Amino acid sequence: MHGSAASRMLRDLQKGAPASVTVALVDGLVLARSAFHHSINYRSVVAFGTARLVEDQGEKLHALEAISEHVIPGRWSQVRGPNEQELKATAVIEFRIEEASAKVRHGPPKDDEEDYALPVWAGVVPFRTIRGDPVPDARLAPGIPVPEYLRL
């Protein structure tokens, strides 16, 4: 994880306090015939562990590159790397997962048997997260093409 070195949360994590990290993705609204049985389709995970501050500059740079390359493969080698001031302003936290729990809900509504006869629409409204076309910055110098790794 990384963020502002001034972040209270990251400062507390640096002390080695036990912590949890939670991620949830909503995949759709599940609309049943009764309000009670409405739900969502989702995927979630909770990880429990201990954090430590990454202090070694080489390890810190390696971690920041790994994060960048995970999100946008090929980008790190094309941009200016962080300078000393930027590295000082950024905290990098290693989070060692000691235990984790995942939960998933998918599928149609589960109504009470007698409710299936109700004249009410029921089903799933799916959600999708999709990548769009790159939008150039208004101050992009003329003639700079969209990099191959960003083309759809």
Specify the CATH number for the domain of residue 19.
2.30.110.10
24 or 151, which is more confident? 24
Please report which confidence band the pLDDT of residue 151 belongs to, taking 50, 70 and 90 as the band edges.
confident
Residue 113 lies in a domain: no
pLDDT score recorded for residue 83:
95
Task: Tell me what the mean pLDDT of segment 7-23 comes to.
Answer: 87
Chain centre to alpha carbon of residue 82: 22
pTM: 0.80
Residue 23 lies in a domain: yes
Residue 46 lies in a domain: yes
106 with 60: CB under 8 angstroms?
no
- DSSP states along 14-79: HTT-EEEEEEEEEEEEEE-SSGGG-EEEEEEEEEEEEEEE---HHHHHHHHHHHHHHHSTT-GGGS
**Cα dist from 34 to 30, 78, 105, whole Å:** 11, 54, 18
* pLDDT tens-place string over residues 43-65: 999 999 999 999 999 999 999 99
Residue 50 lies in a domain: yes
Residue 73 lies in a domain: yes
Measured in degrees and rounded to the nearest 5, phi and psi for residue 22 equal -120, 135
Residue 139 lies in a domain: no
Residue 37 lies in a domain: yes
What is the strand order of the sheet 90-105 is part of?
A: 2-4, 90-105, 39-53, 18-31, 123-126
Please report which confidence band the pLDDT of residue 132 belongs to, taking 50, 70 and 90 as the band edges.
very high
* pLDDT tens-place string over residues 67-115: 999 999 999 999 999 999 999 999 999 999 999 999 999 999 999 999 9
pLDDT score recorded for residue 78:
94
Task: Tell me what the mean pLDDT of segment 15-20 comes to.
Answer: 85
Count of domains forming the chain: 1
Residue 65 lies in a domain: yes
**In whole angstroms, what is the distance from residue 13 CA to residue 9 CA?**
6
Which residue range forms the structural domain that includes residue 103?
2-108+121-129+144-150
Structure tokens that stand for 89 in this block: 């302003």
**In whole angstroms, what is the distance from residue 11 CA to residue 114 CA?**
55
126 with 27: CB under 8 angstroms?
yes
pLDDT score recorded for residue 9:
86
Task: Tell me what the mean pLDDT of segment 34-45 comes to.
Answer: 97
29 or 15, which is more confident? 29
